[in-house]
């Protein structure tokens, strides 16, 4: 499912226009991004939690040549679904 499909379905469920839903989704994504950049956890009831985590530097391997290459330290985003969402998906 792509963003236009999500916008259309949310508009149908909420009674809002597709333009309003699009602005709301853009705002939601920006808020999540801004808080992850700050290092904060973003929790959405019924969905899950987004969290940024530090990743250590390590050595990787080029699959084509087999040479060892350094992979620098960085950050990654993790998502942990709520128990409710996990149970819904298992059905």
First-residue to last-residue Cα distance in the chain:
20
> Residue 28's domain spans which residues?
1-40
One domain for residues 1 and 33: yes
Chain segment 22-68, per-residue pLDDT in tens: 999 999 999 999 999 999 999 999 999 999 999 999 999 999 999 99
One domain for residues 81 and 58: yes
The CATH number of residue 82's host domain is 4.10.520.10
Give dist(CA 33, CA 40) in Å, integer: 10
Report how many domains make up the chain: 2
| The pLDDT of residue 44 | 96
Give dist(CA 47, CA 32) in Å, integer: 13
One domain for residues 49 and 87: yes
pLDDT at position 91 over 90: no
């Amino acid at each position: 499912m792509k963003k236009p499909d999500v916008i259309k379905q949310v508009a149908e469920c909420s009674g809002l226009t597709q333009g309003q839903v699009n602005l709301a989704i853009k705002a939601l994504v920006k808020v999540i991004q801004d808080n992850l950049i700050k290092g904060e956890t973003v929790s959405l009831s019924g969905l899950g939690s987004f969290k940024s985590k530090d990743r250590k530097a390590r050595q990787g391997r080029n699959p084509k040549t087999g040479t060892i290459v350094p992979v620098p330290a960085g950050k990654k985003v993790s998502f942990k679904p709520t128990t409710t969402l996990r149970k819904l998906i298992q059905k």
